[in-house]
Chain A
Amino acid sequence: MRAEQLKGHLDGLLLAAIDNGARHGYAVMEAVREATSGQIDLPTGTIYPALHRLERADLIAGTWSVVAGRRRRYYTLTQAGRTALTGHRTDWRDFAATITAALESRPWPSTA
C-alpha cells in the first residue's frame, strides 16, 4: 500500500502506534508494518516528518535519550493526542461501516 493511499489516515496510524507506550521513529515504522502484516510499509521520509508535524501540533511529545551511545528520540501521546486518536478510531469505524454497508448491499433499485 502506498503512502498516498493513506491520506487522511496517516496521523491515526502513527498515533495508534504510540498508544501503547513510548516509541522511537524506527519502532513506529516497525509497529505500523507489523500491525498491518506488512501491508503498510511507510518510508522513512513519510514517518519522521509526520512525527515532527504531530509533535508541533502537540499531539505527541518527543524526548531525547541516549541508548547504546546513540541519541534517540522517543515519542509519547499527549492528552490531546489521545483525544485525537479516539476521534480517528470513531471516524474510521463510522466510515468503514458506511462504505461496507454500501458495497455489500443488494443491487440498488432502478430509477427508470
Chain B
Amino acid sequence: MAEHSLNEHSLIAAYRADLQARLPADLADEVLDGLAEAHDKYLRLGLPPDQAARAAVTELGDPRTITDAFRRADPARQLARTLILSGPAVGGCWAAALTTARAWNWPLPAAIPLLMGLTLAASAALLAAAATTQRYRAGRRAGTAGSLGIALLDTAAITTAILAAPASPWLFTAAACASLARLTHIARTLRRCPISYMW
C-alpha cells in the first residue's frame, strides 16, 4: 500500500482510510493516486488547501459508490452469477445421465456421493454469497472458492463418467460436455483474477 505524507489533509486522509477498508490494496492505491492528482490540480489552480481537498474528494466520488462499481464489474462475482444461472441446466444433464444409468447401484463407497453432495451445497452457498454480498474482498473470496468447488465437482463427474463406462453414453457425453464447457469458463476467468484482490 502506498505511503502517504504526514501533512496530508484530513479530508484526504479520511477518504484514504475509507477506500482502503473497502478495496484491495492495488485497487485502492490506483484510485488514491487519482485523488492525489486531482488534489494537486486544484492546488495548482489556486484553491486554498481545504477547498482543493473538498473539490478532489467530490470529483473522485463516494468510496462506497466506487467500491460498488468495482464489485459489479468483478469477474469472480460475474462468474458466480453465471454458475448459479447455468447450474440447473448442467445439474439436470447429470441427473438425467445418472438416473438412466441407475447410478445408485454403482459399487462406490458411500463417502463419495456424500462428499460430492457436501461440496455442491458448500459451493452453491459460496456462489450465492459472492453474487449478493456488498463487500468486494469477501465477494472475491467466496466467488473464487465456490467456483473452485464447482470445478472440482465437474472434474469428479467427468472422471466418473469415463471410468464407469455407462450404458447410455450419449447422456453422459452431453453432461460431460456441459461440465467441460463450465470448467473451461472457470479456468479462463480465474486465470485473470489476481489472488491479491481477495485481501
Contacts and interface: CB of A to CB of B under 8 A. Distances in A.
B33 A53 contact: no
Interface stretch (A24-32, A78-86, A101-109): A24-32
User: Which applies to chain B's interface (DSSP): helix, strand, loop or mixed?
Assistant: helix
Given A27-B37, A44-B61, A73 B66 contact: no
Interface in B46-105: 60-61, 65-66, 68-70, 72-73, 75
A39 interface: no
Nearest to B37: A26
Contacts of B192: 56
What does DSSP make chain A's interface, helix, strand, loop or mixed? Answer: helix
Interface stretch (B23-31, B150-158, B176-184): B23-31
A49 B33 contact: no
Q: Which of A43, A45, A49 has the most CB of B within 10 A?
A: A45
Given A43-B61, A44-B66, A69-B5, A53 B73 contact: yes
Nearest to B23: A48
Nearest to A57: B192
A68 B3 CA distance: 10
Contact of A26 (B3, B27, B38): B38
A18 to B, nearest CB: 15
A70 interface: yes
A67 B40 CA distance: 13
Interface residues of B, number: 26
A46 interface: yes
Nearest to B59: A44
Contact of B33 (A25, A45, A56): A25
B32 interface: yes
A44 B36 contact: no
Given A24-B34, A27-B37, A56-B192, A70 B69 contact: no
B32 A70 contact: yes
B70 A49 contact: yes
A44 B29 contact: no
Interface string A31-46: 0000000000001111
B30 A45 contact: no
Interface of B: 2-5, 26-27, 29-34, 36-38, 60-61, 65-66, 68-70, 72-73, 75, 192
19 contacts: A24-B37, A25-B30, A25-B31, A44-B61, A45-B68, A45-B70, A48-B34, A48-B66, A48-B70, A49-B69, A49-B73, A50-B73, A52-B73, A53-B73, A67-B33, A70-B4, A70-B33, A70-B36, A72-B30
